[in-house]
């Protein structure tokens, strides 16, 4: 047998085919796309969750900061309460207005909490000026505005010269507060408030109610205990002449911003009430007891 060979040592009679290039199959590409889609969706879900938690944390921080700022403002105001020493004056006033209070079921419990909204007014003196300062919760700035389950806390202030603070005119700051319709005297303080509760205490730190033996018996105070709307609370405080509380405790309940938005989106009032009743855990409570600097000890009986 004869074999043809080239003199150069190369096989010229053999045809050389190019080697096929390596590549991904369609199945492999689809598997990779699915894995990338799962990873991207997971990252998007984690990002959205982180962003939602960040926004919720910022909203709660703003709410807590707003509550602390209000309690600081209220503490500075209440510390300056000054008795007018006028029989017709109104040194301190707190009242539960006529409305249906909110009752909320406490989390993981069958017990309920009644959220009370009260109107508050008191007098203070700065040099030659008397000031009447009031707080109330309404759905609009007017004192005669609607009282709803959730409202806005407003601050009212009026000033009169000391020369006018006598006789029948000593009641003018309080009457101006009761007829507060001038928005120039009113400032918006806090939104989403469901509770504004006021308690008064004597020199020994005992709660003042109708029949408290610590107050000197005279015609300079009026106290009405609540028997129906909020048992155990006081419906009305009215102090004049030289009587002011020795301590005032204020509790404010503020609904979380996310819950406030959901509440306002509900058109029906009954559904709104049921919604709030089941979200007691979404109410931030701020409580503070303030000592009154200008209390007159002679207005109180000595302890037994």
Confidence of residue 48 (pLDDT cuts 50, 70, 90): confident
Does position 24 have pLDDT exceeding 90, yes or no?
no
Mean pLDDT value across residues 101-113: 83
Strand partners, 238: 93, 222
Does position 102 have pLDDT exceeding 90, yes or no?
no
Residue 208 confidence (pLDDT): 93
Q: Give me the sign of the Cα torsion angle 186, 179, 207, 241.
A: positive
Confidence of residue 234 (pLDDT cuts 50, 70, 90): very high
Better-scored residue on pLDDT, 219 or 2: 219
Does position 58 have pLDDT exceeding 80, yes or no?
no
CA pair distance 248, 293, nearest whole angstrom: 11
Instruction: Map tokens 């909020």 to a residue.
Output: 230
Residue 45 confidence (pLDDT): 84
CB under 8 Å to 294, separation ≥6 — which residues?
80, 81, 82, 83, 244
Residue 182 confidence (pLDDT): 67
Does position 272 have pLDDT exceeding 60, yes or no?
yes
Q: Give the lowest-confidence range in 8-17, 109-118, 237-246, 288-297.
A: 8-17
Residue 25 confidence (pLDDT): 83
Predicted structure pTM score: 0.80
Strand partners, 253: 195, 285
Confidence of residue 54 (pLDDT cuts 50, 70, 90): low
E strand or H helix at 95, and its extent? strand 92-95
Q: Which long-range contacts (CB under 8 A, 24 or more apart) does 265-268 make?
A: none
Better-scored residue on pLDDT, 90 or 47: 90
Residue 155 confidence (pLDDT): 94
Better-scored residue on pLDDT, 227 or 116: 116
Please state, rounded to an integer, the average pLDDT across all residues of the chain: 85
Does position 41 have pLDDT exceeding 90, yes or no?
no
Confidence of residue 125 (pLDDT cuts 50, 70, 90): very high
Q: Give the lowest-confidence range in 30-39, 57-66, 164-173, 232-241.
A: 57-66
CA pair distance 138, 150, nearest whole angstrom: 8
How do residues 162-183 score in pLDDT, each as one tens digit?
988 888 888 999 999 998 876 7
Tokens found for residue 32: 């990779």
Q: Give the lowest-confidence range in 59-68, 129-138, 265-274.
A: 59-68
CA pair distance 187, 165, nearest whole angstrom: 24
CA pair distance 235, 248, nearest whole angstrom: 15
Mean pLDDT value across residues 39-61: 77
How do residues 189-214 score in pLDDT, each as one tens digit?
999 999 999 999 999 999 999 988 88
Mean pLDDT value across residues 258-269: 90
Tokens found for residue 240: 């004049």
Angle between helices 269-277 and 257-264 (to 10 degrees): 160
DSSP 8-state secondary structure symbol assigned to residue 209: -
Q: Where are the domains of the chain?
A: 53-299
Confidence of residue 137 (pLDDT cuts 50, 70, 90): very high
How do residues 67-77 score in pLDDT, each as one tens digit?
778 888 899 99
Residue 1 confidence (pLDDT): 47
């Amino acid at each position: 047998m004869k074999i043809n060979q080239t003199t150069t040592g190369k096989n010229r009679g053999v045809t050389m085919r190019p080697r096929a290039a390596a590549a991904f199959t369609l199945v492999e590409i689809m598997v990779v796309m699915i894995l990338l889609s799962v990873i991207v969706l997971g990252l998007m879900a984690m990002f959205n969750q982180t962003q939602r938690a960040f926004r919720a944390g910022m909203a709660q921080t703003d709410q807590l900061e707003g509550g602390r700022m209000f309690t600081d403002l209220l503490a500075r105001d209440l510390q300056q309460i000054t008795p007018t020493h006028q029989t017709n004056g109104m040194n301190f006033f707190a009242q539960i207005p006529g409305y249906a209070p909110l009752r909320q079921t406490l989390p993981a419990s069958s017990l309920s909490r009644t959220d009370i909204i009260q109107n508050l007014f008191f007098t203070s003196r700065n040099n030659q000026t008397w000031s009447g300062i009031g707080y109330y919760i309404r759905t609009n700035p007017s004192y005669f505005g609607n009282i709803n389950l959730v409202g806005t806390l407003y601050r009212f202030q009026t000033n009169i010269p000391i020369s006018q603070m006598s006789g029948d005119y000593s009641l003018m700051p309080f009457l101006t507060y009761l007829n507060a319709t001038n928005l120039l005297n009113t400032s918006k303080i806090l939104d989403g408030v469901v509770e504004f509760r006021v308690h008064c205490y004597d020199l020994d730190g005992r709660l003042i109610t109708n029949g408290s033996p610590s107050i000197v018996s005279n015609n300079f105070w009026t106290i009405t205990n609540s028997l129906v709307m909020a048992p155990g609370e006081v419906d009305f405080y009215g102090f004049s002449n030289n009587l002011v509380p020795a301590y005032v405790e204020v509790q404010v309940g503020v609904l979380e911003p996310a819950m406030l938005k959901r509440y306002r989106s509900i058109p029906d009032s009954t559904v709104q009430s049921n919604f709030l009743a089941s979200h007691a855990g979404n109410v931030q409570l701020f409580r503070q007891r303030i000592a009154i600097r200008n209390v007159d000890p002679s207005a109180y009986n000595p302890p037994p």
